[in-house]
Every structure is written in structure tokens, then in C-alpha cells.
Structure 1
Amino acid sequence: MQALVVTAKGKLELKEVEKPVISDGEILVQVEYVALNPTDWKHRDSVSPAGVILGCDFCGTIVESKSSRPKGQRVAGWVHGGKFPDQGSFAQYIRVAGDRVFTATDLKPESAATFGIGYFTAAMALFNDQKLPYPPAAQEGWFFVGGGSSSVGLFVTQLARIVGYKVIATASPHSFDIVKAHGANRVVDYHDPKSALDEIKKVTDDGIVAGLECIGDLDGVQLAVDSFGPKGGPLTQIIPPPKEVRPRPEVPLDHRILLYTAQGYEFEFIPGQPKMPAKPEDLKWFTDFCERSPEFIEKHDIKGNPVDLRQGLENINQGLDEMKAGKVSGKKLVYKIA
């Protein structure tokens, strides 16, 4: 099969490689669509060793199964791309555990491909890290989203509204409409942090009680911390906060998640740094949420990211370069593979 393989730091090559062989509990998926994430170009440039297949998000059809899932079923999900020589979504076929995907027969396949890293990170923040109950239980107050036009931001805005929060998000003005269309009650321009903070405090009546910061830069994290009301609350981060952030005791900076831990195994994330330990509790949550997802998505009319549809494995590297250069906002680059 053909796959995009890391050949050196910052370099990808379309190669002919062996089709993956599945084990008990796994499925082999013929990949039809893949979606790009910032983690893909970061792995390409600084994390992945040579010889591994890149890519996380995918949608496709099961062609072999050693799990309870039947052949011919359309599924979607994500894998730890850029880590293994026989598992990455930027390929014609992918092997994955049958309980770590969700049935995607009721979604357009190009949209289903966007329900990967972004969707599951947003859900992990709310339902695993912040321990929120699933609907119909309802929350009160305001939820802060830093980076509202990002893939994670667009998903968490919808999920926060579903569980009862009012949502205020930061974004560039050109993305205001798309963030509002995904459920934000208010969107604020982050470029002037002082003006943004004043607006947030006024709109929410100093009532922010929880949040997710998606970008990780100093101004953005500081704005998130300062935006909380006097009682504080959980602020989940998907990127380690800069050391220069001025903390508040009522807004602890220890709510850090990394979606890859949901796969349930120990792994080295950054070369040379201590390994991330296996977290069985994250895997348990992940498999449960995969099972919930088809009904959850349909019942709550969760929208996938807006799609910029393109063609071919051979063109993905260009898309990664566009993302790295900051040329992609408010949309998801999706590539048709088959």
C-alpha cells in the first residue's frame, strides 16, 4: 500500500509499504478521507523518528475484522500517528482496535474525518478531565474557550453548550461568524488582551467558572486565567502553559491533557524526555465515548469542522506546510484518499 512516511526531521515521502496485519480485537480500515491537525506537522518536524507513518484522523470502511465490528461498516476516529511504522492515517489502509473507533454511517465521510483529534480532545477535557456528567445533567455559568476557531475550539464550544454552559470564545474577527455558528454566545478579539479581558468580564458579569485553552501562548493562557470569576474553576490546557504565566490559586494550571494517553499504553512523547505512563482510566473513558458517539452526535446535532476538501496523499505535505505557516483558520483540511 502507499503511505506517507517520515524519512527525516521535517521530511515526508510517499512510499510503498506493507499492508498492516491486524491482531485479535483489531480491524483493518480502507482509508477514504483523512483530516490534518497541528500535531501532524509538529510530529513531522520534531517528534517522529524515521520510518513511521504520519497522520491521526480518518474515516473509512472495514475490510478485515478480528473484532465484533463487521466488514463493510464505515468508521471514523484517530490514532497516534507519527509513532509507529504500521499505524498512521496518511495511508491507504490503517489498523486500529475495534473499540477505539465509532460507527460513522450517518455522517458524510469527509465530515466524519474531522471527528478525530479535535472532537475527542474537546470531549476529554469536559467529560474526563473536568468530570462533567453527560446530558441531561446541566451546568450553570460561563465557559471560556481560548482559540474558538481551532478544531478543538469549535467542538468544545458545542459540547459546552450541550451540557448547559453559556460560552464566550476568543478568535480573530474574520472567524467570529463561524465560531458563533457553532454555538458561542459571544466571541471576543484576543489581539488586545486588556480590551478582551474588559469585554469578557462585562459580558459574563465575572461569571466564568470553567474553560479550555487551545493555543498555549503566553497572552492567551494569561487571558484565560484572568477571565475567570472570583471563585475560579478548572481550566484545561492541551499545551503546557508558559512558565511566565501569572497564576491564580483559584485557577490551577494542573488540568493538562494529552489525548494520546487515551490509547492506554506507555509511550515516549518527546524524544529524550520521560515516558508518558499508561493511563487505563483514560482508555476506559475513550472506549466508552466511542460507543456513545454515534447517538451523541446525532441527538445533539454536533457539527463537524468546516471542510476544505482536497485530493491525494501526495498533496498532504503542502497542507501541513500551510498549517505551520498559520494559513489555515476556521476550517479543516481534509484529503480524499480513495
Structure 2
Amino acid sequence: MSTPTIPQTMKAVITTADSSTALQEVPVPEIDADEILVKTTAVASNPADWKLVKFMTIPGTIVGVDFAGVVVKVGSAVTTPAVGTKVAGFVIGGQFTDRGAYAEYVKTAADLVWTVPEGTVSDAQAATYGCAAWTAVQNLFLPTRLGLAEPSDVKAASSKEWVFIYGGSTSVGQFAIQLAHAAGYKVVTVASPKHHELLKSYGADAVFDYKDSEAITKIKETTGDSIHLGLDAVSTAETEVFSVKAFATGAGKLHVLGMAPEADAQSLRPDISIQASTVYTTHGRALGPVPAQPQDKALMVHFLKKFPELVKSGALKPNPTKLINGGLAGIPEGFEYMLSGKVSGEKVVYEL
């Protein structure tokens, strides 16, 4: 396939000094030998996107982490994917002037994308498998985190062990349910009742309303009071306390999202190892106070090779989507939609 014509400049959503964003014309990024350049066709939003703009502003940087698109250029050391391949991935947005998802072109490491199988999911759906799906993979399967057995193929292994996931209807929760199920584990989760049927269709064996005063009792009865592994996909002081109360007596592991676990949950259950992590370490580079963690990148490089078959088989479905019109110009509207608290069981996406 001939190399597409690539312009010198592109439109991108840039952070501004007043903790906002602007759609600006910037240079198309140059790629290194081990990188690829992707012409974006869809992007998705996460709470981290607007939080980085609002609270951790680095003016002049490109915003956004989740994207899908077509490879238009490869570095000299890249053998796969080839130009013309449809891919999706996750980059670190809001930190660099030449790297971020909310742009007409995105550069990223060639081994940190997955190939989207033809005839499976739309570009907008493919974009939902970024930050959230990577977070689920990192927390479920990294040996230093929950260390679950991986899906060896699309057929679940035989396992009677229960895994608890708080926030099953969140983007991370939806992917975590499916991945744990595909790996052969039994999954119990909590979410608003309107999402229960969706989560059961994604592989949850039991779903309860987190507002139900008897929810913890019901979880223990359903699982035979056997939970020793859990992921809190919401990760507040309240949700972490709820999570550890659902655990059985004895040692366990609970993973939460963010920089540090809440003290209340740890003091309530000192026998449970509560650890926090950030998905940005999957890029294998240091970021602020967080040191480089090569093992996190190695897991993602390995696991992304599983994505095409998991998606093709239907074992790993995308998040339900909420399309915001306007392409990159619609990003501020998407941020406002998220800030208003309207997002529930869906991923905000934009088509370019």
C-alpha cells in the first residue's frame, strides 16, 4: 500500500493557561524508529481527561488518551502494524506538546496498539477499549496486583473462585467483568439496578444494588463468604470500605485506582493488602513522581495481542457509547456532559 499524504499541520485540542482547552493548529508529530503515526477516526473521553485539564494543567499540551484510527506511517524499526491497518490504543494525554489522542494524528509506540478485526466493532466502539480496558488488564492480571490467570483463549477455564468488582457499570468495571469471566472466574459486582442486565450479559454471575442495605450480606451469602480478590473501580473512601466488608476472613487483595488507598478501609481490614495503581505506568516511562515500571508495559504489550481474538469472539465487548457531535470541536461539550454527572454505564465518544 502506498504511503498516504500526511500534512505538516493538524488540528488538536490543546490545554490553555486558564485550565481550559482550545482547538488549535499544531505540527503533525514526528515519530521515532519504534513508533507509528495514526490518522484518528474516533476518540473517547475519560474522567482523567477533564481532570488533567482542570487540576493539573500543562499549557500547550495535547489532551486525550483513547483513540482509534488507521496507521499512516511507521518508524524504521517497525515491522507491525503496517500502513493501512485499523488500530486502537491509549496514550498519555495532557503532558506532551506532540502526543495526545485529541488530534487528527496520534503518535504512539507500535507495540502499544491492538489491531481492530474487520467487521467487528465500529471505530467509536474501538476507542472505548483504551484507558479503562488497560486499567482492568493491569489490575487483574499483573502478578504484583491481583495476579489472576489470563484467558488462555476465548473459552473460559474452569474456576470456582469468586472475584469482587465494585462499580461494575463503570467503564473499567465493564471490562474487568468480561476479562475475569473470560479467564474462568466467577464475578460478583454492584451497580445501579438499571445496569444489572447489561452486566449479566457481560459475564457477571451476581449483581447487587450498592445502595441496598443488605448488599454485603447478599454478596457473602451468594459467594459462600469466599471473596479474597477484588477491584474497586470507583475508589473512594466509602467504596473501599464497602469492598473490604465484602471480603471473607483472612488475607486478601483489593486493588483501587489512583495514587493511594484510603486509610479507613486499611484500618478496618489490616489483613487485606490494599494497593493503588495508575494506568499510565503501562507506557513504561516515568511520569512525575511515578517511576518507570517496565513490567507494566510488558504485560500490556503481551495482552494487547489477545484483544483481537477476544473482540472477534464477542468475549470482550465495547462500552455502550454516547456520541457527541462535532468531532474534536465537540470535546468541550463532552467534558460538560461528564461534569454534569449524566454519564452512567456509557462512554463518551467522538467521530472524526
The TM-score range, normalised by the shorter chain, is over 0.9
Alpha-carbon distance in 2 for matches of 1:64, 1:86: 15
More deviation, 204-213/72-81 = 204-213
Report what 1:317 is aligned to.
332
SS at match of 1:3: strand
- TM (norm. structure 1) is 0.93
Q: Match for 1:36 among 36, 42, 45?
A: 45
SS at match of 2:303: helix
Equivalence for 1:327: 342
Aligned to 1:286: 300
Alignment pair present for 1:96 and 2:108 = yes
- Corresponding residue SS for 1:234: strand
Per the alignment, residue 123 of structure 2 pairs with: 109
After superposition, give the CA deviation of every residue in 1:248-278 in whole Å (9 maximum; x if it has no partner): 133111x22211011111111xxxxxx1111
Of residues 226, 246, 266, the one that matches 1:227 is 246
**Distance in structure 2 (CA, Å) of the matches to 1:284 and 1:110:** 26
Of 135, 139, 152 in structure 1, the residue corresponding to residue 151 of structure 2 is 135
| Separation in structure 1 between the aligned mates of residue 189 and residue 148 of structure 2, nearest angstrom | 20
In structure 1, how many angstroms separate the alpha carbons of the residues matched to 2:263 and 2:150? 34
Q: Distance in 2 between matches of 1:59 and 1:42?
A: 22
1:261 aligned partner, one-letter code: T
Residues 81-116 of structure 1 deviation map (CA, whole Å, 9 limit, x = unaligned): 111111110110001111110111333222111110
Name the structure 2 match of 1:261.
281
Partner of 1:271: none
For residue 201 of structure 1, what is the aligned residue in structure 2? 220
Distance in 2 of aligned mates of 1:10 and 1:318:
15
State the partner residue of 2:90.
78
Inter-partner Cα distance in structure 2 for 1:28 and 1:41: 24
Q: Secondary structure at the match of 1:327?
A: coil
Q: Which residue identity lines up with residue 130 of structure 1 in the other structure?
A: L
Q: Deviations over 1:159-191 (max 9, x none)?
A: 111122211111112222222221212211112
Could you say what secondary structure the match of 1:208 adopts? coil
- Tell me the secondary structure at the aligned position of residue 14 of structure 1: strand
Distance 1:16 1:225 in 2: 49
- For the residue of structure 1 that corresponds to 2:272, the secondary structure is coil
SS of the residue aligned with 1:132? coil
Cα shift at 1:307: 1.3
Distance in structure 2 (CA, Å) of the matches to 1:217 and 1:120: 20
Deviations 1:216-261 (A, max 9, x none): 12221101011011234221111333223343133111x2221101
Distance 1:206 1:161 in 2: 19
CA apart distance, 1:295? 2.3
Query: Any residues of structure 2 matched to 1:44-63 within 5 Å, and which?
Result: 44-63=53-72
**What residue in structure 1 maps to residue 198 of structure 2?**
178
CA contact (8 A) 2:19 2:57 kept: no
Shift of 1:299: 4.1
Unpaired runs of 5+ residues, structure 2, are 1-9
Secondary structure class of the residue paired with 2:268: coil
Question: Which residue is 2:7 aligned to?
Answer: none
Question: 2:252 & 2:175 partners in 1: Cα distance?
Answer: 20
1:153 is aligned, of 165, 173, 193, to 173
Q: Distance in 2 between matches of 1:163 and 1:231?
A: 24
In structure 1, runs of 5+ residues without a counterpart are 269-274
- Distance between the aligned counterparts of 2:21 and 2:339, measured in 1? 15
| 1:298 alignment partner in structure 2 | 312
Residues 1:27 and 2:6 are matched in the alignment? no
- Relative to structure 2, which stretch is displaced further, 200-209 or 52-61? 200-209
SS of the residue 1:179 aligns to: helix
User: Which string of whole-angstrom CA distances, capped at 9 and with x for unpartnered residues, describes residues 12-45 of structure 1?
Assistant: 1111111111111111100000011111111111
Computed over aligned residues only, the root mean square deviation of the Cα atoms, in angstroms, reads: 1.6
How many Å apart are 1:9 and its aligned residue?
4.8
The answer to whether the Cα contact below 8 Å between 2:151 and 2:179 also exists between their aligned partners in 1 is no
Q: Is the 8 A contact 1:77 1:100 kept in 2?
A: yes
Moved more, 45-54 or 244-253: 244-253
Q: CA-to-partner distance for each residue in 1:174-214, whole Å, 9 max, x for gaps?
A: 2222222212122111124x422122112222121211101
User: Secondary structure at the residue paired with 2:277?
Assistant: coil
Distance 2:90 2:261 in 1: 25
Q: Among residues 250, 256, 268, which one is paired with 1:247 in the alignment?
A: 268
User: Do the aligned residues in 2 keep the contact of 1:210 with 1:232 (CA within 8 Å)?
Assistant: no
Q: Is the 8 A contact 1:14 1:313 kept in 2?
A: yes
